């Protein structure tokens, strides 16, 4: 599999995206569970119109990973052909404040931290994959340019130290946490078990920004988009509300097939 990843990393991005679209539809056709999650989640959010696009874009997400992880940093960053909201980053630099990037599973979420790392250090929350063969590829790819913080107590301390030092931290705030690491909060009108870490870090003296990289048509690259929260991010519900705002801007590129609604909340929670 490592050889396959390295082979894919050398293919042109338009080829990877075309193959990825086919892969997305193949997965949708062959996996009833995936199909059920995608259809149910888009319906829950009122985004049924984005369903067809989401099927193809999910496959693109998978096949572009080798290029983002394994190619030289300059090549990867060069795929970002447009940036909106970078002045928000520069203001934080001028103020000497740390930066907390909240990047949901939207567009090419892997390239956002890689782009920032070209300018200044960034520490990202990292959860080791279940597939043992994949872990070295992720650690070599992400770890070449990013500082990895494992999803444990020691990793959280690394994130806190980075923010206190005026550096940047990145995480996927819509990733389902382990038991005891989250709380139930509304997400598109339905309770979802949501990490508390993002809201806790947002209470530090740091600038909170939301980010995603929109995938452009025909493999033309990415548009990195940065936003300030519309209101203080003090609770997991606040985090989910901000994620919803970004997803509505680009619903066809959200990973709707991800099982975001795992488990059932206790009576009275998530409302």
pLDDT digits (tens, 9 = 90+) for 110-140: 999 999 999 999 999 988 777 777 777 777 7
d(CA 101, CA 210): 6
Q: Which residues are within 8 A (CB) of 167 and not within 5 positions of it... i.e. 6 or more apart?
A: 98, 99, 120, 121, 122, 123
What per-residue confidence (pLDDT) applies to 31? 97
pTM: 0.94
DSSP-based helix, strand, coil % in the chain, nearest 5: 50, 20, 30
Task: Assess contact for 214 and 252: CB atoms under 8 A.
Answer: no
d(CA 195, CA 185): 9
The average pLDDT across 17-45 equals: 97
Report how many helices (DSSP H) and strands (DSSP E) the chain contains, helices first. 11, 9
What per-residue confidence (pLDDT) applies to 253? 98
The average pLDDT across 138-162 equals: 88
What per-residue confidence (pLDDT) applies to 130? 73
Q: Which residues are within 8 A (CB) of 97 and not within 5 positions of it... i.e. 6 or more apart?
A: 166, 205, 206, 207
Tens digits of per-residue pLDDT, 168-207? 999 999 998 988 899 999 999 999 999 999 999 999 989 9
- Ramachandran region of residue 195, left (φ > 0), alpha (ψ -120 to 50) or beta? beta
Alpha carbon distance, N-terminus to C-terminus of the chain: 44
Tens digits of per-residue pLDDT, 239-266? 999 999 999 999 999 999 999 998 888 7
- pLDDT band at 269, cuts 50/70/90? low
Residue 1 has pLDDT above 80, yes or no: no
Share of the chain above pLDDT 90, in %: 83
């Amino acid at each position: 599999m490592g050889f396959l990843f390295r082979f894919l990393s050398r293919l042109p991005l338009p080829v990877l995206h075309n193959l990825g679209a086919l892969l997305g539809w193949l997965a949708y056709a062959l996996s009833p569970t995936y199909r059920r999650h995608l259809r149910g989640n888009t319906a829950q959010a009122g985004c049924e119109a984005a369903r067809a696009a989401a099927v193809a874009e999910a496959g693109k997400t998978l096949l572009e990973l080798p290029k983002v992880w394994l190619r030289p940093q300059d090549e990867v960053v060069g795929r970002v052909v447009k940036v909106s909201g970078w002045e928000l980053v520069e203001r934080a630099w001028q103020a000497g404040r740390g930066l907390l990037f909240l990047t949901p599973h939207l567009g090419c979420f892997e390239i956002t931290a890689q782009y920032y790392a070209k300018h200044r250090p960034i520490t990202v929350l990292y959860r080791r994959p279940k597939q043992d063969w994949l872990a070295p590829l992720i650690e070599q790819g992400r770890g070449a340019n990013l500082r990895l913080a494992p999803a444990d107590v020691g990793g959280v301390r690394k994130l806190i130290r980075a923010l206190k030092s005026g550096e940047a931290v990145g995480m996927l705030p819509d990733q389902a946490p382990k038991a005891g690491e989250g709380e139930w909060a509304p997400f598109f009108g339905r309770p979802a078990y949501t990490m508390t870490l993002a809201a806790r870090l947002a209470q530090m003296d740091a600038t909170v920004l939301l980010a995603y990289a929109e995938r452009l048509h025909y493999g033309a690259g990415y548009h990195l988009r940065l936003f300030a929260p519309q209101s203080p991010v003090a609770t997991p519900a606040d985090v989910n509300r901000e994620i919803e705002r970004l997803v509505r801007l680009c619903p066809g590129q959200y990973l709707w097939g991800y099982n975001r609604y795992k488990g059932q909340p206790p009576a009275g929670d998530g409302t």
